[in-house]
Amino acid sequence: MAGGLPKLYPIVDAGVLTRRGLDVGRFAGELREAGVRLLQYRDKTGEPQEILRAAAAIRAEFAGVDCRMILNDRADLAALADWDGVHVGQGDLLPEDARRVVGAARWVGVSTHTEEQVRLAELSCADYVAVGPVFATGTKLDAEPVIGLEGVRRARELTTKPIVAIGGITRGNARSVVEAGADCVAVISGLLAEGEGVAKVARDFLDVLR
């Protein structure tokens, strides 16, 4: 993977933003202001046109900025939106099938929750392997069992690919996750802190991970 992964990987989650009354474009603008250079957009329930509109709004906010944009689940929409890649889960397309849709130039990431899944991801064409949840998280109602820092360490032993750690990661524990072997931390609700702007929180994460 040319250049490796930035240390911070914000996930712009449509459901989380809607529940909090936040605008996707404005949220993306705060991430740009903070210096974010890798992000994912995730919308589990939206219609294709809704997802494409949101993708266009995010791209507009990052116009002229070198930020890699990854779409969750939908390889077809990632290609249509001319985004930089797709992230697939265990119930989505296989990395190889996603690669056939998005092409060789775009990234394909894959979520894993067990050692066996990490082993299979290592053998796949995926560009990076997401592991988690590292800590308890309230973002996903059907979250897998927590793997803890030991799960991150074990994943590091099982794959040579870049590791993205996800699940319950905060400014207070992010450094420990990287020290356990993760190349990058993915954050969703950790970006939303009462009384603090998203840009400020994202900058804090970047400072902690520097």
Catalytic residues: 42, 111, 140
Identify any residues that bridge with 41 across adjacent strands, giving them in sequence order: 12, 71
* Total residue length of the chain: 210
| Closest-CA residue to 95 (of 84, 85, 81, 82) | 85
Q: How far apart are CA 155 and CA 147, in angstroms?
A: 10
CA distance 126 to 117: 12
Helices (H), the chain: 14-19, 24-34, 48-61, 75-80, 95-102, 115-123, 148-158, 174-179, 198-209
